[in-house]
Amino acid sequence: MPNTMSTAAAQKPPRDLACAECGGTFACTGDVQCWCGAEPYRLRMTDIDAQRDCLCPACLRRLAAAQQAATVPTPSGSS
């Protein structure tokens, strides 16, 4: 028997969340279609981070860039 559920009915509506970093609101679908799934950034999660909720796009990008900059070694001899 074919699946009669439409694609639109199968998708759940996005939730409005408050960013755990800045408090700004943004939409989250909580699945692979969410905006964050397309982001090239990945943050290392610590125990403290695991207790927080999602980040807005701007904060995710800013924190990921800061984390990446902190882990990039500087060339020897530079200050």
- Tell if the pTM clears 0.85, that is, is over it: no
pLDDT attached to residue 53: 76
Residue with tokens 């279609």: 33
**Residue 15 in tokens:** 């939730």
Q: Which tops the pLDDT comparison, 79 or 69?
A: 69
Q: What is the CA radius of gyration of the chain?
A: 18
Residue 49 above 70 pLDDT? no
Token duo for residue 63? 């924190």
Six token digits for residue 79:
């200050």
CA–CA separation, 75 vs 79, rounded Å? 9
Q: Does pLDDT of 25 surpass 90?
A: yes
